Amino acid sequence: MCGIVGYIGSRDSQPILLEGLKKLEYRGYDSAGLAVHTSEGLHIRKTKGRIQELESRLEHQPLIGFAGIGHTRWATHGRPSDVNSHPHADNRMKISVVHNGIIENHQQLKEELEQLGHVFLSETDTEVISHLIAQYYKDNLVHAVQQAVSRIRGAYAIVVLSEHEPDKLIAVRWASPLIIGVGEGENFIGSDIPAILEYTRDVYILGDGEMAVISRDTVELMTLEGNFIAKQLFRIDWDIMMAEKGGYDHFMLKEIYEQPRAYRDTMRSRIEDNGHSVSLPEVQITPERLKLISHIHMVACGTAYHAALVGKAVIERLTRIPVEVDVASEYRYRQPVIRDNTLVIVVSQSGETADTLAAMREAKQCGAQVLAITNVVGSSVAREADHVIFTWAGPEIAVASTKAYTSQLIAFYLLTLYVSQTMNTVDVQERKELLDMLKQLPEQVEAMLEQTEPIIQTAKQIAVHDDLYFIGRGLDAMVAQEASLKLKEISYIHSEAYPAGELKHGSLALIEEGTPVIAIATQEALLEKTISNMKEVKARGAHVIAVAMEGNTEIIKAADEVLYIPRTHALLTPVLSVIPLQMLAYYAALTRGNDVDKPRNLAKSVTVE
């Protein structure tokens, strides 16, 4: 879960590498470093802390050269420190490496290399790679890298720069994302598109087991065995401003406000002009096969898992197909029962989440058809799934996911309506009503985002507390889980989400005088029961904040304050009710003085297991 950049060309590499690292700092920010081939040979500058600290050091000790690599780190092996920062080098400072991933057999390799006289300076698994390449180097850097990589096990994206052959960079990928940007007289490497978007829109997306040998004017693609391969250049059509803050104080706030646009883009061209049906040409399951599906498994992590919980409820309600939802890190270890008529749906914003990828591969090995919901074209999940629904949310930079979650919900609604119309489980009028209300959601969110003052005031109240609880029933209980995660990851307030009916089974013991309890109460069929639960916590001293649909006056009797959302169909409420809860987390974190876009201990894309 680190950011990698590389450059080779005719320009000074340092500013290009630094700018790329800044674009990738959301992937890791406990240390950063550069290696550049200068007129005096290979030199490295690296430091614990944010990129600004590296930049400050480079002002006094610049690295001038036309080829270089850079890295921003989120620690997995070895505590954050100067010496554990990347890039790493061999003892002779001839070969430098940056790496994203985990080398599972690094200890065994380290002991072997130490017996051959290699001296290690860091606690990292990555340093093994530079020493291993140095051990195999015999006047051919490509062969040395291939031999070294054949010895390592794990997940990795590796970029190598060597003083022996300074006219090339070598990039290798296995289970961690890596792209090659193609320019004129210069080429680029990045672990994510924003790192290179300022310089080129033409990229090769490396697949597992592929490597690239990059010079100023050429990009040679091959397998790890040395067989040359041809790949199609992928054209990036993002607006550069989509990957910048655009005047907002934080990426997270920008992405909250981008949600209406993300909803529209995800729905665009997928709702037929008559407004009665959904078109998903990317889902190539025949109607006959679709009607045979008797069970669905959903697999995801974190926020995507919470989106899948909503997806389960909606699919079961409208299609009557039973659905299981699993945390991806547990799925493949429980030996899931997969039959010919089981569909597996995997959900991942980046399409590179290691646990989700592993679970998907397990499902495919068991013979399942896999449908992916993802945001990134060309990602591993997108390439390996049988069917893909892209959310078209645009780049999500903030570690705390917002628009990815809600656009995943939109994708689930579209998928469910598509399946239900094929299986004829929802009549035309109900489907039209749902689609009409689905199309109204962007405008409703825009209206909500124009009236944030009550949310800001509530956020200031809860920011002084160290414990907070979310309750809800039905779909509200599922939204409560995402709201709790959002609050925890950026405000560091301990919070828990409970189905409201579970309070009396133990969790009421946690309520003290003044404890904030946020009750999500948008499911009007369950309203009386939810209000009863609100009264239970209020009777024990809780300060109750409710989220309810406009026009709900009963809620006022049980809540100390109410945040209203526009009226919509009961199944669509999660897309609206999560908005004030995202804002609540954001402003609570600001009130507590936290860095919203760089929450402690977290990284954006979890590409290690």
Active site residues: 2, 604
Burial of 65 (0-12, 13-18, 19+ CB in 10 A): buried
Quick count: other Cβ atoms within 10 Å of Cβ 37?
A: 24
DSSP string computed for 194-217: GGTTTT-SEEEEPPTTEEEEE-SS
Nearest residue to 200 via CA among 9, 33, 52 = 9
For β-strands 467-472 and 41-48, DSSP reports them as unpaired
Phi, psi of 59 (to 5 degrees): -65, -35
DSSP three-state, residue 101: strand
Q: Is 311 within 8 Å of 355 (Cβ atoms)?
A: no
Dihedral sign, CA of 460, 481, 505, 334?
negative
Residue 200 tokens read as 């080129």
Distance CA 190, CA 19 (A): 12
Residue 191 tokens read as 């672990």
Cα 296–Cα 577–Cα 493 angle in degrees, nearest 5? 95
Q: What is the dihedral of CA 565, 570, 575, 580, to 10 degrees?
A: 30
